[in-house]
Amino acid sequence: MDAPPRARHPQAVLFSCGFNSVRSPMAESLLQQMFPHALYVKSAGVKKGELDPFAVAVMAELGQDISGHKPQTFEELEDWEGLNFDLIITLSPEAHHKALALTHTLAADVEYWPTPDPTTTEGSREQKLQAYRDVCDGLLMRIRRRFSKVGAASG
């Protein structure tokens, strides 16, 4: 079944997860770097977290600096600039439930991309970094697959 036209070619995308400290800022940066002028991209969390240093380190390996990212909640984002997104991509169950509740008042499509939380990984620094890299790689693959047509459409 084809996605509705709005979801196929979104103009504004919101990534969301639990704390807006690892998964959603990674996804926001990855998509923004791919289409810096074609899409408006933001991220938010159900609760407010602190930016994770492992996420910053892994993104820096890709040449992307997320060190200035300020984690924010859905409510803060709505207060600051409104929730004018036509696609919300949720990366955790709690974010998915929150996004679905928002669609009662927002005309946004919601896609759920279950993404593991690397903060629960035990082990050495290298093992933890690898868990974050795996999450980043998974997000990058999904983003490339989902938004491959955007590049063609925007030129």
The domains found in the chain, sorted by start residue, are 10-150 (3.40.50.2300)
Is pLDDT above 60 for 142? Answer: yes
So what's the pLDDT on residue 2? 43
Q: Calculate helix-pair angle for 23-34, 53-61, nearest 10 degrees.
A: 30
Tokens encoding 8: 């196929």
Nearest to 56 by CA among 122, 116, 129: 129
The length of the chain is 155
Tens of pLDDT, residues 12-69: 999 999 999 999 999 999 999 998 888 999 999 999 999 999 999 999 999 999 999 9
pLDDT of residue 6: 47
Is pLDDT at 155 greater than 80 in this prediction? no
pLDDT tens digits along 111-129 = 999 999 999 999 999 999 9
State residue 153's pLDDT score: 47
Alpha-carbon span 110 to 14, nearest angstrom: 9
Predicted confidence at residue 107, as pLDDT, reads 84
SS3 letters across 96-140: HHHHHHHCCCCCCEEEECCCCCHHHCCCCHHHHHHHHHHHHHHHH
Q: Which of 103, 71, 73, 75 is nearest to 87 (CA)?
A: 103
Contact assessment for residue 34 and residue 11, using Cβ atoms and an 8 Å cutoff: no
Mean pLDDT calculated for residue range 132-140: 98
Confidence of residue 3 (pLDDT cuts 50, 70, 90): very low
What is the pLDDT, as a whole number, of residue 5?
45
Phi, psi dihedral angles at 127 (to 5 degrees): -65, -40
Q: What is the chain's mean pLDDT, rounded?
A: 90
